[in-house]
Structure 1
């Protein structure tokens, strides 16, 4: 019998093979042991917190595993953040976990926040998924059609230390601008900022979102906001300044009145394991994901645009596990 120990986690067991509704079990001690009956191979996938997207993604991956041609029991475990996921993978607490692409990129290279701890040489990527895209929204009929047009305008950029704020600074620099070149740089929450954009109280809003986002679609219908596209050279500059990000194209007509595709960059959740993971288990999990891609698309609006090329983009952030690379038809690094 296989037993996984999960430190301080909340486990949600998949529905299909356990029968009935998924149930939650909260750890009351410093650790709990998950022991499932039967002789089938069992998987445990670390996600984020239940109110985010990583946890439902982990749960959906479990459902794909449980309904595969050779099904296995699967459970999703909550984790505080990507740093906790990386720690759980390295100490063997979890065999699989979802990690944000920039954190993963720096962890395997021992850079940024991982300079002191050094490279996490044992981490291996399995598959990547949707993109949380850096996007600048403005009025479709307004005077702003490119990033350099933000000079002298009122822009909601978010708090200085937020992803919105950091990315706004990087984007402005690609156009030769600084925050001082804006007429106003405000830090209200993004939903409030979009309302102010509709009401003409600000000129542009920096957004980090998985597209399409319902609140942005509603604003597009209400007042004709639209995302700005970066040029190819600007995307290249952004990628050079933002390790662990990926290029992304928001298709035309994603939002009302958006006539052309929008080029930008963003972050992706990456399913990660370790170099010691069993090839058969990694291969079976990856195959279940690839074959179940249409069901993954249907599971949540945020997952609706995931394509096979998104899965294989995991190799941008960390070395691919050979079994995952084989299942996805790409070369291992």
Structure 2
């Protein structure tokens, strides 16, 4: 028996896989590789691993927010990036078909990270200059049951439109949606992402587009009905051909976990991720531009995890 144990230890050493006893393994759910979630999650995993606190993390490309919060519930993921509106719906068991009647009261927030802007992008040859112009057009509204589909529904409602008013409501993910726009098989696309998403950059580089504003009374109504939205102005020249600012709305990218993760484990991850703000902000321009500890604890869609509460209190923030 001792010989077998010794041989096993030697085999592990030979492959370089020597892990301390009691190591916690954490998988961080992100999104498509063309979005902002993936590089942020990958960078976060490295920060956690480099901290050497007994946690080994890896980032996984996923279908995005709805998948992520469901995978947190099943234990397939331990930490995930998710839109604050999707986390809000999942925590309460409403809003999205996948969550109806299945409130996940184990969901906990670690931090809000940066705004995720709703981009409504149209082919210039489709002559779409306002949300009202989407009537009768072929519009990519996101996968069935996705957060993007829910956002598209809410925005259209603010303009007194329904999916049935569209020429075609195309239910596909963002990667396929970009391809349909490039092929001329879609006229417009709803795309919620951090500023400068590579998928949107790719679309703007290959197709003559215009960005459709969400503003005025319609934006006011949307924010009143759904308080997780905030106004956001897309800066000029964020994308090729976008020469002026564009009024829109945004939700927040949040880092989410569950009560299945211990206070100690989450506290150690918080220290690794947010203990050195300079290293965190170096992961992506959106974090560099928008993240602050004060914003990280505002307008959260579910309670903070106890480990996050401990960390943010040590940072001098009044949280509970």
Name the counterpart of 1:4: none
Shift in CA distance, 214/282, structure 1 to aligned 2, threshold 3 Å: closer
Q: Map of 1:178-217 to 2, 5 A cutoff?
A: 178-187=162-171, 189-196=176-183, 202-217=186-201
Q: TM-score, normalised by structure 1?
A: 0.65
Match of 1:98 among 80, 92, 97: 80
Match of 1:175 among 159, 162, 175: 159
1:190 is displaced (CA, Å) by 0.7
More displaced stretch, 252-261 vs 108-117: 108-117
Shift in CA distance, 22/190, structure 1 to aligned 2, threshold 3 Å: farther
Shift in CA distance, 44/305, structure 1 to aligned 2, threshold 3 Å: farther
Name the counterpart of 1:37: 20
Contact map agreement 1:124 1:319 (CA 8 A) in 2: yes
Normalized per residue, the structure richer in helix is: 2
Contact map agreement 1:45 1:58 (CA 8 A) in 2: no
Name the counterpart of 1:263: 248
Alpha-carbon separation, structure 2, partners of 1:264 and 1:86:
29
Alpha-carbon separation, structure 1, partners of 2:225 and 2:218:
11
1:252 is displaced (CA, Å) by 3.1
- Structure 2 residues not aligned, in runs of 5+: 1-12
1:239 is displaced (CA, Å) by 4.8
Name the counterpart of 2:310: 323
Contact map agreement 1:127 1:324 (CA 8 A) in 2: no
1:312 is displaced (CA, Å) by 0.8
Alpha-carbon separation, structure 1, partners of 2:193 and 2:26:
24
Q: Map of 1:127-276 to 2, 5 A cutoff?
A: 127-139=111-123, 143-158=127-142, 161-187=145-171, 189-196=176-183, 202-231=186-215, 233-239=217-223, 249-258=233-242, 259-266=244-251, 268-274=253-259
Alpha-carbon separation, structure 1, partners of 2:132 and 2:276:
42
Count of aligned pairs: 289
Q: CA RMSD in A?
A: 4.3
> 1:158-188: CA deviations, max 9, x gaps?
5554444443332211111223433444456
Shift in CA distance, 224/49, structure 1 to aligned 2, threshold 3 Å: closer
- Structure 1 residues not aligned, in runs of 5+: 1-18, 24-34
Q: TM-score, normalised by structure 2?
A: 0.67
Name the counterpart of 2:3: none
Shift in CA distance, 42/331, structure 1 to aligned 2, threshold 3 Å: farther
Shift in CA distance, 205/106, structure 1 to aligned 2, threshold 3 Å: closer
> 1:117-176: CA deviations, max 9, x gaps?
5561x5432113355543210256874332123234443435554444443332211111
Higher RCO structure, 1 or 2 (CA under 8 Å, sep 6+) = 2
